């Protein structure tokens, strides 16, 4: 899909045959001196375009003639040279006859000042750009402006692209201005005027609060925002740059009897996604037709260069090429792994798959780290890298200590919470779901902790912790059990904190609600020393890890990062001008997220997509994420310190570092995360305090206030009336809001994303699905005999099937991969920050503190006293190390959710 989308956007439409062979000579060119491709283009060039090319004028938005600026004979001018750098399309990187005629782009310099005599905007200074050089990746164009001496400071450049296709503008450099050269960073697609008559505006790198906008730029600033907001109607074209909101009403296929509920609204509250304006389905007028090409505003998609090598291209190839090929090779969708040694062959021998007939080398070229060529040359094979966890200790996944450690330093360290009430009770209606009391009793816990203290003492000393997936999954247990090849329980897993800050699992409770004439079923499993108890415990752990895998992927990962960040992106582009300092602060943290989210809607979270086909909740996956959003998501607790306090993992303590005292001292995610949070907050504080030296300007900044209002009332519309939304009246309020928004796509996302292959690549450690009930639940005599005879078979049969496992492993490998051009937190400053000495100095301090954090994390991982992050065979906790090389490294914090 991605490659075809690129080709559609970059390949020019063929000209109609309106010209004559002699047309080149008619406009002053000899065909003998032109390359053959240009002769063909010119001979096919429409007559109306030739006439336009011979004029020395262009068209404005109203279709009127737009004359080039000509100073009067007495007016003094300054010669200013403009150099435009354009990144060439990956496909078809040549230019049309317009380049040879000097009509490629029309540029207009806009003064920041009004005319003192008229009080109106000064006339712009214009010139056409002429191409002067071209390499394989870039082309350079030059304009020569005659700028009046009294023109004033250039505040913006207007661009009209006269090509028949869009092009990616990298930067425009003006030389010869009275105050020296000026670089305007573009990094944006510029549409063809034939597709959209509105010109593009690029403001300079100087930032302005709303009420500080130079008078000559106020109209342009407002107009550009209006263009970005659009009018809320019509289907969006791929070249559009329009940001608007819609519900998640495009995940199912109602017309083919495979619908999904609409996420967003009173029944299922949910964040909003970007509006595409596609037509409704025939069956359900409230659902939107799906398309293989998913609209995102043009600048949210990858640039021409990044599209080739960026991680999303790898992910797209996994979805579009590898997964269908795997399904072809592994015909039986329910076939499991008969032995654990067969699982090992995925890393030693791989899975043979047929080579694509039309392009036999394609898979290896696009997925070199996964695809190997079989010696016989007939097939390819998917050969998985050994995950670091398995490489260090092949049997670590089997141990209870590792099972517990990963709740603090694994892939989902955001679910563990302190037990604050006893006995454990469900909040669900017992008339529907059965007795609310947990089967985990005081006597059982005190027996398992060997009488070292009472449960009451353990609660007082904050020694009991829980993974509680009881109430979130219980309403769906019976529904999920009706699906093929999967099962589900509600679960609680209890841990005891030892004196050396290590969690030890003491009990797992699995519960099934009443079903038909069957009453509620529940059973508690504990670590045992007898053979039968040991295998039941292992099976119970498999169910819990599958629950944790589903919750991690649907809530900790998708909902709390990808999904909830998209409204921030939309609101920022609709309400904050590109010249607003807060827009420029946030911009690096939004890059490419909407593109990734669109790809997820297309093939990951859609009906029968990867999530539904490989995770236990199946078709109810996204509905469950909406239920959790409605019940428990709050913006204020997305801040790391507040999240830790909410879960009982920390308490406020003004005397402690970070102002918090951790309940578990050796909690790697929290230890490293709080340092990173503080570093981000210090950078944001320096930035905000520079631009809002007058605190009252926060409340009076109309763009800023509109931005925050829209996030609350449109982006998260279903929670607009909640009392917990922070107010935005002071710089301190703004700092907290911005730090939270930046933390989510950087630190939070890195912590739950880039360890996916490390911890999930060997799926017995984190199965995404369990397919068999516990043998103690309504088992037949034959099932019990088989379990007692070969308990290993019961565990293997519970694990994902071969196709489910290989699909998940392929996707996790792609999601865990850093691209070669990843943009890491604090690594490269934005041009507008470099242009401001105060901001640039603050950014240098930000970078230095991140470099220090790298050393701190290395030191912690070398400290054998910190058993949750170091020791024999332990994967060191590096997920919050700021920087990384490319590949599956298990470290590195990118600026944004770019994979």
CB atoms under 10 Å from CB of 631, counted, come to 11
Tokens 């750098």, residue located: 85
Which of 326, 376, 233 lies closest to 808, judged by CA?
326
DSSP states along 850-880? HHHHHHHHHHHHT-TT-TTT-STTPPP--TT
Q: Are 688 and 681 in contact (CB under 8 A)?
A: no
Q: Are 213 and 165 in contact (CB under 8 A)?
A: no
Q: Which tokens go with 738?
A: 């911005």
Q: In the sheet that 105-111 helps form, which strands lie side by side, from edge to edge?
A: 182-190, 167-175, 77-87, 138-148, 125-134, 105-111, 154-161, 200-203
Question: In the annotation, is 552 catalytic?
Answer: no
Q: What angle do CA 301, 307, 313 make, to 5 degrees?
A: 100
| Helix residue spans in 484-591 (DSSP H) | 531-551, 564-575, 581-586
| Beta-bridge mates of residue 185 | 171
Question: In the annotation, is 818 catalytic?
Answer: no
Cα–Cα distance between 370 and 349 in angstroms, integer? 12
Q: Region of 851 please: left (phi>0), alpha (psi -120 to 50) or beta.
A: alpha
Cα–Cα distance between 678 and 292 in angstroms, integer? 42
CA 167 to each of CA 95, 297, 462, 881: distance values in angstroms, whole numbers, following the listed order: 10, 15, 60, 36
Which of 884, 598, 595 lies closest to 755, judged by CA?
884
Tokens 């003094």, residue located: 76
Active-site pick, 547, 749, 813, 861: 749
| CB-based contacts of 811, cutoff 8 Å, min separation 6 | 315, 318, 319, 323, 604, 610
Question: In the annotation, is 562 catalytic?
Answer: yes
Cα–Cα distance between 211 and 214 in angstroms, integer? 9
Active-site pick, 191, 543, 557, 658: 557
Q: Residue 262, class by beta-carbon neighbours within 10 Å (0-12 exposed, 13-18 middle, 19+ buried)?
A: buried
Which contiguous run of DSSP H or E holds residue 274?
strand 273-274
* First-to-last C-alpha distance (Å) of the chain: 16
CA 361 to each of CA 261, 303, 509, 769: distance values in angstroms, whole numbers, following the listed order: 41, 26, 50, 33
CA 618 to each of CA 260, 484, 608, 627, 882: distance values in angstroms, whole numbers, following the listed order: 12, 9, 8, 15, 35
Active-site pick, 353, 371, 769, 899: 899
DSSP 889: -
Q: What angle do CA 803, 809, 811 make, to 5 degrees?
A: 100
Question: In the annotation, is 342 catalytic?
Answer: no
Question: In the annotation, is 899 catalytic?
Answer: yes
Active-site pick, 191, 562, 658, 716: 562
Cα–Cα distance between 741 and 571 in angstroms, integer? 12
CA 85 to each of CA 110, 143, 186: distance values in angstroms, whole numbers, following the listed order: 19, 12, 9
Question: Is 54 in a helix, a strand, or coil?
Answer: helix
Active-site pick, 320, 606, 753, 773: 753
Q: Are 753 and 413 in contact (CB under 8 A)?
A: no
Task: Supply φ then ψ for residue 245, to 5 degrees.
Answer: -110, 155
CA 87 to each of CA 76, 112, 464: distance values in angstroms, whole numbers, following the listed order: 35, 28, 57
Which of 306, 589, 275, 649 lies closest to 462, judged by CA?
649
Side-chain half-sphere exposure of 702, counting CA atoms within 13 A = 7
In total, the chain counts a number of residues equal to 899
Which of 7, 156, 163 lies closest to 86, judged by CA?
163
Enzyme catalytic residues: 557, 562, 749, 753, 899
């Amino acid at each position: 899909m991605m490659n075809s989308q690129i080709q559609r956007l970059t390949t020019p439409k063929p000209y109609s045959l309106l010209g004559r062979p002699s047309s080149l000579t008619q406009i002053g060119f000899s065909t003998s001196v032109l390359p053959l491709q240009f002769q063909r283009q010119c001979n096919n060039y429409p007559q109306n375009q030739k006439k336009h090319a011979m004029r020395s004028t262009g068209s404005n938005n109203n279709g009127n003639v737009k004359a080039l600026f000509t100073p009067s004979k007495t007016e003094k001018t300054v010669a200013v040279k403009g150099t435009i750098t354009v990144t060439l399309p990956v496909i078809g990187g040549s230019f049309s006859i317009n380049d040879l005629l000097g009509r490629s782009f029309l540029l207009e310099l806009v003064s920041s000042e009004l005319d003192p005599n008229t009080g109106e905007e000064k006339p712009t200074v214009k010139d056409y750009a002429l191409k002067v050089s071209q390499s394989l990746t870039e082309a350079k164009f030059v304009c020569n402006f005659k700028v009046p001496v009294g023109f004033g400071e250039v505040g913006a450049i207007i661009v009209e692209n006269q090509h028949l296709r869009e092009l990616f503008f990298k930067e425009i450099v003006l030389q010869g201005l009275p105050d020296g050269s000026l670089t305007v960073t573009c990094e944006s697609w510029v549409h063809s005027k034939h597709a959209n008559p509105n010109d593009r505006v690029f403001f300079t790198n100087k930032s302005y609060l709303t009420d500080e906008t130079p008078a000559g730029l106020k109209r342009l600033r407002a107009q550009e925002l209006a263009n970005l907001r659009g009018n809320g109607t019509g289907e969006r074209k791929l070249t559009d740059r329009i940001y608007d909101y819609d519900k998640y009403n495009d995940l199912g296929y109602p017309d083919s009897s495979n619908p999904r509920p609409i996420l967003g609204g009173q029944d299922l509250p949910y964040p909003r996604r970007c509006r595409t304006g596609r037509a409704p389905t025939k069956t359900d007028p409230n659902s939107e037709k799906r398309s293989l090409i998913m609209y995102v505003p043009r600048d949210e998609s990858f640039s021409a260069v990044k599209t080739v090598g960026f991680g999303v291209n790898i992910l797209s190839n996994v979805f579009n090429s590898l997964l269908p090929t795997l399904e072809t090779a592994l015909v039986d969708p329910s076939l499991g792994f008969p032995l654990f040694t067969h699982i090992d062959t995925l890393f030693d021998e791989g899975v043979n798959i047929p080579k694509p007939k039309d392009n036999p080398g394609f898979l290896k070229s696009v997925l070199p780290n996964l695809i190997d060529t079989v010696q016989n040359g007939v097939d390819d094979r998917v050969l998985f890298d050994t995950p670091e966890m398995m490489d260090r200790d092949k049997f670590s996944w089997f141990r209870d200590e590792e099972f517990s450690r990963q709740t603090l330093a694994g892939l989902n360290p955001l679910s563990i919470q302190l037990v604050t009430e006893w006995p454990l009770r469900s909040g669900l209606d017992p008339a529907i779901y059965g007795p609310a009391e947990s089967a985990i009793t005081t006597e059982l816990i005190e027996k398992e902790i060997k009488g070292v203290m009472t449960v009451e003492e353990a609660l007082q000393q904050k020694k009991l912790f829980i993974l509680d997936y009881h109430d979130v999954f219980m309403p769906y247990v019976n529904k999920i059990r009706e699906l093929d090849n999967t099962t589900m329980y509600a679960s609680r897993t209890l841990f005891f904190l030892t004196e050396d800050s290590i969690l030890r699992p003491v009990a797992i409770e699995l519960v099934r609600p009443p079903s038909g004439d069957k009453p509620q079923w529940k059973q508690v499993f504990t670590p045992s020393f007898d053979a039968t108890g040991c295998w039941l415990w292992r099976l119970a752990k498999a169910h819990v890890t599958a629950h944790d895998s589903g919750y991690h992927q649907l809530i900790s990962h998708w909902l709390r990062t990808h999904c909830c960040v998209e409204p921030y992106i939309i609101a920022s582009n609709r309400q904050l001008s590109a010249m607003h300092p807060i827009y420029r602060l946030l911009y690096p943290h939004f890059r490419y997220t909407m593109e990734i989210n669109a790809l997820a809607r297309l093939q990951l979270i859609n009906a029968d997509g990867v999530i539904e086909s490989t995770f236990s909740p199946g078709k109810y996956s996204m509905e469950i994420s909406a239920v959790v959003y409605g019940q428990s998501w709050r913006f204020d607790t997305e801040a790391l310190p507040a999240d830790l306090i909410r879960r009982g993992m920390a308490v406020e303590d003004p005397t402690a570092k970070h102002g918090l005292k951790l309940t578990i001292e050796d909690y790697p995610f929290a230890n490293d995360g709080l340092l990173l949070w503080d570093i981000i907050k210090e950078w944001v504080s320096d930035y905000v305090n520079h631009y809002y030296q007058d605190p009252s300007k926060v409340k009076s900044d109309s763009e800023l206030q509109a931005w925050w209002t829209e996030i609350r009332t449109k982006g998260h519309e279903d929670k607009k009336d909640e009392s917990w939304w922070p107010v935005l009246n002071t710089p301190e309020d703004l700092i907290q809001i911005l730090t939270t928004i930046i933390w989510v796509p950087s630190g939070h996302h890195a912590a739950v994303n880039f360890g996916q292959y490390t911890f999930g690549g060997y799926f017995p450690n984190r199965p995404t699905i369990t397919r068999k009930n516990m043998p103690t639940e309504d088992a037949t005599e034959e099932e019990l005999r088989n379990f007692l005879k070969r308990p290993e078979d019961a565990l293997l049969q519970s694990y994902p099937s071969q196709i489910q496992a290989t699909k998940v492993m392929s996707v996790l490998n792609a999601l865990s991969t850093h691209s070669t051009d990843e943009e890491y937190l604090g690594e490269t400053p934005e041009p507008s920050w470099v242009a401001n000495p105060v901001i640039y100095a603050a950014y240098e301090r930000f970078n230095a503190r991140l470099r220090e954090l790298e050393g701190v994390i290395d030191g912690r991982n070398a400290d054998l006293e910190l058993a949750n992050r170091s020791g024999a065979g332990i994967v060191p906790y590096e997920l919050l190390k700021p920087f990384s090389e490319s590949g599956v490294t298990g470290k590195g914090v990118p600026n944004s959710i770019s994979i």
